[in-house]
Amino acid sequence: MAKIYFTLTGTRHYYGSDFLKSGMKNKLEELRKEKNLSQEEFSSYMKVSRQTIISIEKERYNPSLDLAFRIADFFERRIEDIFIQEEKDER
């Protein structure tokens, strides 16, 4: 069962098995390794934490639109070539 908690700013966050699956695949790790960059080096270029890069690569977190654009620009790719939305089975 998913649980909800709120931050001091009132932002709602979900956690639990239902919310760990983002529904989006990505090629970030593959592209990063093609450029021989560590997660630490790449996070520095993107001005985010190494944990953010790890979470995106493990598909636990979807980047903000701003970060997705920066990643796409860095790799000179389109966002949709890096981040692939999975089709949901509507049963």
Tokens of 8: 């001091």
- CA separation for the pair 25, 56 (Å, rounded): 9
Q: What is the DSSP letter of 16?
A: S
For residues 55, 60, 66, 69, the Cα torsion angle rounded to the nearest 10 degrees is 80
User: How large is the average pLDDT for residues 11-25?
Assistant: 54
Model pTM score: 0.71
**What SS3 class is residue 15?**
strand
The residues with which 82 forms a beta bridge, in sequence order, are none
Q: Give pLDDT tens digits for 62-84.
A: 999 999 999 999 999 999 999 99
Closest CA to 5 of 19, 22, 24: 19
Q: Is the pLDDT of residue 17 over 80?
A: no
- CA separation for the pair 13, 5 (Å, rounded): 5
